[in-house]
Structure 1
Amino acid sequence: MDYALPMLALVTWTTIIWWALLLVRLSEIKANKLLPAQLNTPEDARELLSLRQNMLARNFANLLELPMLFYILGTLSILLEVDSKFSVLLAWLFVASRVAHSLIHTGYNTVLHRFYAYVLGGLILTTWVITMLLNSVLL
């Protein structure tokens, strides 16, 4: 099964968010004539830069938190040669949930919608873990 493709898709999405963050942040630093020393901490950035920049920064951090479990599950599935169309579907569904979360978070940012996308991703990962555990015990 090809678990690498959804993993590459999420890496690509994370890279896109990083570039968006970098471009917005550098543009604001230049426009506001800020010095690097003025942005020593995330709190400084929250205070001195726009909400848009802060939402991108938080979303980028989100793409490095829960998805860590996704990358571990994908890597284990590759290493253990798990042959499951269902697990590959779960991987793609997780990627879709993270893209949806990002678009909500960095777009119109309705917290309840963002929460639904976040929980959906967690439920997908939980299902994948349970599936792998059951397959390991039953095989």
Structure 2
Amino acid sequence: MTVQAILAPLFAQVLLTFALMIWMAQTRFAAARAGKVTPNKGSPRTFGWPEKAQQVADSFHNQLELPPLFYVLVTLALVTKEADLLFVAMSWAFVASRYVHAYVHTGRNRTMTRFRCYFVGALILLAMWAIFAIRILAA
């Protein structure tokens, strides 16, 4: 596999994270300007943001949970030359699950649908790690 093919899903995941970060900043600034939030001592997470601002912020923060394991795995697979067509296909499936999860999270936010999207992505990532570990340890 080419470096571009291996890194393209990673770039797509990074794009999602930055897009959510920018959207979070926009919704939070708009809420603050409109006087819909009162900053207090402590974390901005406890400021009582309007629902949409909180959803977008939660979705952004969620991109800092599973995806770092994906970033590490892609880097390791690239360095060890263990990234093949299956790896790239699974990478795209993981990233697609993250996009769907973010869409659900920032939309109607149906908890069970969101959980299923998260769970599918987690299973894909777990399988990717298992396959990678087996290939490395069996070499």
TM-score (norm 1): 0.90
Q: Which runs of 4+ in 1 moved over 2 A?
A: 37-40, 42-45
- 2:58 counterpart residue number: 58
RMSD: 1.7
CA distance in 2, matches of 1:87, 1:44: 39
Q: Secondary structure at the match of 1:24?
A: helix
Match of 1:112 in 2: 112
Provide Cα deviations, 1:76-115, integer angstroms capped at 9, x if missing partner. 0111111410011111000000000000001011100000
Determine the C-alpha separation between the residues in 2 that align with 1:123 and 1:133.
15
Please name the residue that 1:81 is paired with: 81
SS at match of 1:23: helix
Q: Structure 2: how far apart are the matches of 1:34 and 1:117?
A: 30
Identify the match of residue 13 of structure 1 among 11, 16, 38. 16
Paired position in structure 2 for 1:30: 33
Please give the secondary structure, in 1, of the residue aligned with 2:82: coil
Other-structure match for 1:97: 97
Distance in structure 1 (CA, Å) of the matches to 2:89 and 2:41: 41
Post-superposition shift, 1:43? 4.7
Distance between the aligned counterparts of 1:111 and 1:83, measured in 2? Answer: 34
Deviation at 1:40, TM superposition (A): 3.8
Which of 46, 52, 57 pairs up with 1:44? 46
| CA positional deviation for 1:41 | 1.6
Look up the SS of the partner of 2:109 in the other structure. coil
Identity of aligned residues (%): 30
Which structure has more relative contact order (CA 8 Å, sep 6+)? It is 1
CA apart distance, 1:39: 6.5
